[in-house]
Structure 1
Amino acid sequence: MSKDSPIGIFDSGVGGTSIWKEVHSLLPLEHTIYLADSANAPYGEKSPEEITRLSIKNTEKLLNMGCKLIIVACNTATTNSIQTLRSTYDVPFIGIEPAIKPAALQTKTKSIGILATKGTLSSALFARTSDLYSKDIKVIEVVGKGLVQEIERGNKDSVQVEAMLAELLRPMLDAGIDYLVLGCSHYPYLIPSLKKILPNHVSIIDSGMAVAKQTKLVLQSLDLLTESQQAAPEFFTNADPIILKNLLSETGENLKVSYLNF
């Protein structure tokens, strides 16, 4: 495996670009390949078996593209599939799961909210993590029903989505949360709308920077950090590329998005 091989990233759709942005910011020399499996989004309402099948499909596509490390930029795929992926393939995997630990350690009100998909909240890995860090803390878990679909349609800033969020957050606010953990890589795109609804004392936590730092640590430990400027990032989607293009246009970079049937 070469230092100049790409980092592979996959998600159930466009949301994992929130993770890609952090990785690209921290490791700008690395060549990255992003797969948006939007044709099968959302993963959060699928069975664990189906989520694992899709995760294997995406992994094998990235391995065929020569990736040296794979980031599972999807909470649902990580919590349901990463153990299978790690035991099946001889390549390092970086997963993403809701950042319960920092919220639980820092909360003053002893009440935190987790906004995630059904697939993440019902997974065994999430249950273990939650049990480990949420002793003596009230955890309000809410399924973000419909949010991923709206983001995939390009409606992240719509009045409709803001109304959906207000309804979803009500039980959390009633419980006096002071931390909101975003348990889906699509959800950082909702932060502007969330800030309109949440009181100023409620902090929002997502896992993007933690994933980027872990990626760097793993590449360093394996002596796989690139030492030269690499090719431009590549983005592939198996649905209409326009939504992904629009999201990436916010970076200010001229990034190419291609359709790929995978």
Structure 2
Amino acid sequence: MENSKYPIGLFDSGIGGTSIWKEIHSLLPNEDTIYLADSKNAPYGQRSKDEILDLSIKNVEFLLDKNCKIIVVACNTATTNAIKELRAKYSKIPFIGIEPAIKPAATSTKTQTIGILATKGTLNSDLFHSTVSNFKDIRVIEQVGHGLVRLIEDGHMDSRETESLLRSYLEPMVEAGIDYLVLGCSHYPYLVPQIKKILPNHINIIDSGEAVARQTKNILQSKNLLNMSGKEGEAVFYINNDPTVLTKILKAKHKVITADF
């Protein structure tokens, strides 16, 4: 199919979803990708469901204008608050969502206690509560990561303020006996080095990146949309705010375009 050569589209409320993009690019190196970083409106986690839906629709329209063949909602908050409506509104295009990896943590825990660090929007969503309700025998320690997205967007992953916030969020979870920490925001994988300094070695850290990449490949395969050209894919990143941090985490290897959207 000719449209198999069209790009994969991804969007997030900023640069965090590049953690998802990296997994997809690693698994599907021949695919062209277009990433939209809505940094101007980050974080989505503090916004209402209607605001999140409106922003998500705007992002999808942008990616559809670029002929994207599939759209990855590389944002936990947008997935848990808007993906149902997006699939209904744009029924001809496949959507891949990202939500906290509760299931692997809940089915693997030995202490029957897991922690989740996520945005307010994700933790308050119906989809999240529905997922957690499937594991009634598991104690889930929920923590809103107030302030973390903004620090990451500003490039302060290694700052004392970030470490202080993380300690205040994570140390009570450690005391509660968690053996798995679920990262429920696509920004948070960029904090793993800091998190590992705080958590004891026996606590496992889980994010959704690899699972999302595998699901993207599976859907493309099932719809005969995999790019079989054999050429290395081109990656283009659009951002509506200062591109400095995005360019830094991409190590200047890919095209970054500042745009008003």
Task: Provide TM-score, normalisation by structure 1.
Answer: 0.97
Is 160-169 or 35-44 further displaced after alignment? 160-169
Amino acid at match of 1:128: S
Is 71-80 or 226-235 further displaced after alignment? 226-235
Q: Distance in 1 between matches of 2:160 and 2:29?
A: 35
Partner secondary structure for residue 225 of structure 1: coil
Partner secondary structure for residue 76 of structure 1: helix
| Residue 231 of structure 1, CA deviation | 4.6
| Residue 157 of structure 1, CA deviation | 1.2
Equivalent residues of 2:9, 2:68 under 8 A apart? yes
User: What's the counterpart of residue 213 of structure 1?
Assistant: 214
1:247 to 242, 246, 249: 249
Q: Distance in 2 between matches of 1:157 and 1:65?
A: 35
Partner secondary structure for residue 155 of structure 1: coil
**Deviation per CA, 1:15-43, whole angstroms, max 9, x where unpaired?**
00000000000000000000000000000
- For 1:103-118, list aligned pairs within 5 A: 103-118=105-120
Q: Distance in 2 between matches of 1:128 and 1:162?
A: 31
User: What's the counterpart of residue 234 of structure 2?
Assistant: 232
Amino acid at match of 1:8: G
User: What's the counterpart of residue 146 of structure 1?
Assistant: 147
**Does residue 223 in structure 1 map to residue 232 in structure 2?**
no
Amino acid at match of 1:256: K
Q: Distance in 2 between matches of 1:9 and 1:157?
A: 26
Partner secondary structure for residue 140 of structure 1: strand
| Residue 258 of structure 1, CA deviation | 0.9
Task: Provide TM-score, normalisation by structure 2.
Answer: 0.97
Which portions of structure 1, spanning 4 or more consecutive aligned residues, are displaced by more than 4 angstroms? none
User: What's the counterpart of residue 173 of structure 2?
Assistant: 172
Q: Identity of aligned pairs, percent?
A: 62
Q: Distance in 1 between matches of 2:143 and 2:43?
A: 16
User: What's the counterpart of residue 259 of structure 1?
Assistant: 258
Q: Distance in 2 between matches of 1:256 and 1:225?
A: 23
Equivalent residues of 2:29, 2:233 under 8 A apart? no
| Residue 158 of structure 1, CA deviation | 1.2
**Does residue 162 in structure 1 map to residue 163 in structure 2?**
yes
Equivalent residues of 1:19, 1:185 under 8 A apart? yes
**Deviation per CA, 1:107-136, whole angstroms, max 9, x where unpaired?**
00010000000000000000101111x221
Amino acid at match of 2:123: L
User: What's the counterpart of residue 93 of structure 2?
Assistant: 91
| Residue 230 of structure 1, CA deviation | 5.1
**Does residue 13 in structure 1 map to residue 14 in structure 2?**
yes
Gaps of 5+ in 2: none
Amino acid at match of 1:121: L
| Residue 232 of structure 1, CA deviation | 1.7
When the two structures are aligned, how many residues end up with a matched partner? 258
**Does residue 33 in structure 1 map to residue 30 in structure 2?**
no
User: What's the counterpart of residue 82 of structure 1?
Assistant: 83
Q: Distance in 2 between matches of 1:200 and 1:108?
A: 15
Partner secondary structure for residue 141 of structure 2: strand
**Deviation per CA, 1:174-210, whole angstroms, max 9, x where unpaired?**
1100000000000000000000000000000000000
Q: Distance in 1 between matches of 2:256 and 2:240?
A: 11
Amino acid at match of 2:245: I
Q: Distance in 1 between matches of 2:76 and 2:147?
A: 16
Gaps of 5+ in 1: none
Q: Distance in 2 between matches of 1:154 and 1:27?
A: 28
| Residue 170 of structure 1, CA deviation | 2.1
Amino acid at match of 1:166: R
Partner secondary structure for residue 235 of structure 1: strand
